[in-house]
Structure 1
């Protein structure tokens, strides 16, 4: 089992100080709107690589008005091992990580901590632009392969530099070669990671009996086909230079991919489903991600489910809680009142989040 058994927040968002002792069960955080519940699960999301569930800068996470910086400390237990993790930012600087007292990279953190989340902003996944769906799929791919993040960073950096050449209408091939080689290597890895993630999700959905609808998933391109090999992608980038100069940006590569989903039982594209059906499809994918990881690495990820009860009736809410407990996952869930978690009973740990005199407070319920 993968779980945080201790969590401390210092000057993080609305929390000047907060300390939680946890026992590995699902965690139900309840309290009024604005009390700081989402801030707690955002802190948990930072025990994995990246910018967290809000994709905020380190400077934005510091408590105001002090703006001194912030620090998170936790004890992570997984498969009989125990890790002490610290992550922090000083005066808005990039966040740092320390693992068992030694400096570590975020990728090293991703090797031991797998965290998957669903937040209200993702409810628009099927009707927003393709960028949001790529980001959603990349988070899933990252949960299976922590190196996916490094490939994404490498690709984005090389593409930005190549785009500058394009906008300056540089035509000398010498300037493009090294950048296109980097884009081809990283881009191929990104594409393969996404394809593998979809394969994991499909198998996890097909092998499970669940109360949530199955989604048929496909990776499509906004134009043409995604080159299948690194050499093909490098060649495609070379051949597209003059088109790209006219457009001022790269027109081929994994940044042009999109995730397409269909509600399988109804053969209806996800974008045309009702709000409740779209939410159910999202939950289905998150659960499939957790099941796939459990089979792959021997333990489910930590799940972060912000306002998860929205658009779910009592029956489907109970089914969700049953699936979480069957997975033995530590799921952090938020809601305005304890009644939203009634179906969990004593299978969960309950924390009350309140706000007084400008301070958020977390206490056992």
Structure 2
């Protein structure tokens, strides 16, 4: 059984003053004009996972204006163990809070309960822009398998920030550096291990017969991935790092490389449509892997995913979603983009009037 949302309620969330929708586990199609509030719904769902959501927005940016009274998302989730109640919200000036079954919980608990993947138009240039976006994409993939990956990443970042401060201040006490480098090496080795494992399992679940191009993925590292070797490399690089004022090696400098397998072509050299197809191929492989590893397909958030797909690939994507049994949320400007789903999906029209979004169920 795939985990899916049964009810979703948004309160004072961006353009949604109060929106409630009942869901039955089928894919969810959201059609409407640009600016109607479709992506806001996907963003709300994304906040039922750890982190800052698909827009990486701060809690203050999400709250509906001009009221600025805070915001709340409530959801009922069907799981193999029964129904679970999720809430996440933020009051003005406060950080995001989480409750599961009416009990306070850390964000990582959301990742343990729900696996979630997404694609947005902002990711269309993933392969031609800086490595930071590709690392973020890879780490979101890793989180779907290992929710504790976030804790390892936070531990590494905290130790690295402190080491960078010492470097900038010209501190030479080797004891201070050794302690921080030991923590960076321990957490950094786990980060690299998790990333390498994710790359391997996605490769094992690629579909060479799919209309979407099979991607060969590789993790490019600037430093050793083993703990002892990384600690040694950090110690040996102190003088160089002090001159730069920052740590120049480690998992924070890694990059994700993708090649269109059939053409032996780097993703960066592919057309925009081909790059989009590669991303979809990777997400579908990730979803298939999760269905095996976690016993159920993840929730998929696919914002304007049909924009660069021809009719054949759109149909192949919709078939793949249904074959997985995944609850996918898809947005598009016109309902005709989703005709091939037919009754296999729930269809909604999202409209906007006077700054408020409205959601209406429709029949395909």
What TM-score results when the alignment is normalised by the length of structure 1?
A: 0.97
Name 1:333's counterpart in structure 2: 330
Of residues 276, 279, 295, the one that matches 2:276 is 279
How much does 1:157 deviate? 1.2
For 1:271-350, what aligned pairs fall within 5 Å after superposition?
Answer: 271-350=268-347
Instruction: Tell which deviates more after alignment, 174-183 or 282-291.
Output: 174-183
1:82-161 alignment, distance < 5 Å? 82-161=83-162
Note if contact 1:84-1:99 (Cα within 8 Å) is conserved in structure 2: yes
Shift of 1:256: 1.2
Q: Does the Cα contact within 8 Å between 2:188 and 2:225 map onto a contact in 1?
A: no
Give the 3-state SS of the residue equivalent to 1:33 in structure 2.
coil
In 2: Cα distance, 1:25 partner to 1:346 partner: 9
- Answer yes or no: is the 8 Å Cα contact 1:79–1:299 preserved in 2: no
- Once the two structures are TM-superposed, the CA of residue 281 in structure 1 deviates from its matched residue by 0.1
Match of 2:216 in 1: 216
Aligned length: 361
Q: What do residues 87-113 of structure 1 show as CA deviations (whole Å, max 9, x unaligned)?
A: 000003110100001000111111111
Q: Structure 2 matches for 1:1-365, cutoff 5 A?
A: 1-205=2-206, 209-221=209-221, 223=222, 226-365=223-362
Contact 1:36 1:355 in 2 (8 A): yes
Task: Report SS of the residue matched to 2:136.
Answer: helix
The unaligned stretches of length 5 or more in structure 2 are: none
Which stretch of structure 1 is more off in the superposition, 299-308 or 167-176? 167-176
SS at match of 2:78: strand
SS of 2:155's partner is helix
How far did residue 182 of structure 1 move? 1.4
Could you tell me how far apart the structure 2 residues matched to 1:337 and 1:274 are? 24
Deviations for 1:51-92, whole angstroms, at most 9, x for unmatched residues?
100111111111011111100000111224211000000003
| 1:103-141 residue CA offsets vs partner (Å, 9 max, x unmatched) | 001111111111100000000010000111000000000
- Residues 239-295 of structure 1, C-alpha deviations (whole Å, 9 max, x = no match): 111110011110111011100111111111000001110000000000001000000
Residues 21-57 of structure 1: CA distance to partner in whole angstroms, max 9, x if unpaired? 0010000001110010000000000111111001111
Q: 2: distance between equivalents of 1:134 and 1:29?
A: 29
Q: CA RMSD in A?
A: 1.0
CA distance in 2, matches of 1:50, 1:345: 34
Structure 1 residue runs of 4 or more that deviate by more than 3 Å after TM superposition: none
Q: Distance in 1 between matches of 2:120 and 2:291?
A: 22
**Quick check: 1:201–1:288 contact (8 Å CA) kept in 2?**
yes
